[in-house]
Amino acid sequence: MPHRFKISAAKNGEFVAKFVYNAETMVWSENYKSKASATNCIESIKKNAPGAAVVDLTKGEEGKGYRFELVASKDGQTFVRFVAANGEPMVRSETYKSRSSAKNCIKSLKERAAKAETLDEA
């Protein structure tokens, strides 16, 4: 399966969770001090992403609960955040020139995250 999660080593002995397609990182988390926290991030995405709402912040929409957010970057491009029920961002994507590319990122997570394998590369 080309879509998968990875736990990778980050700086200062920390860990990062990523969702990748082949060699391309689609979204990544903040750095976590423990591998268990990175694993918990992945498990929460697997459980909550498939049914999560999509909120377009560029259009002034608001949301609660687990959700994907479409966000405008400073240069006018769009990126994706997956946000936990407590309002904390869990992962974010690169910036996309095309809004449709950002929406495709969300679609991939919604459709593939639940069944994606997790590789421990840390």
The tokens 């687990």 sit on which residue? 66
For residues 27 and 122, give the distance between their C-alpha atoms in angstroms, rounded to a whole number: 17
* pLDDT per residue as tens digits for the range 56-90: 999 999 999 999 999 999 999 999 999 999 999 99
Question: Is residue 41 situated within a structural domain?
Answer: yes
Q: What is the pLDDT of residue 2?
A: 85
Query: Which residue range is the domain that position 101 belongs to?
Result: 3-117
pTM for this model (two decimals):
0.91
Q: What is the pLDDT of residue 66?
A: 97
**CB burial of residue 87 (10 Å; 0-12, 13-18, 19+):** exposed
Question: Is residue 122 situated within a structural domain?
Answer: no
Strands 24-29 and 53-56: unpaired
Confidence of residue 1 (pLDDT cuts 50, 70, 90): low
Task: Check: CB of residue 28 under 8 Å from CB of residue 18.
Answer: yes
Total structural domains in the chain? 1
For residues 55 and 46, give the distance between their C-alpha atoms in angstroms, rounded to a whole number: 19
* pLDDT per residue as tens digits for the range 18-66: 999 988 999 999 999 999 999 999 999 999 999 999 999 999 999 999 9
Any idea what the CATH number is for the domain that residue 63 is in? 2.30.29.80
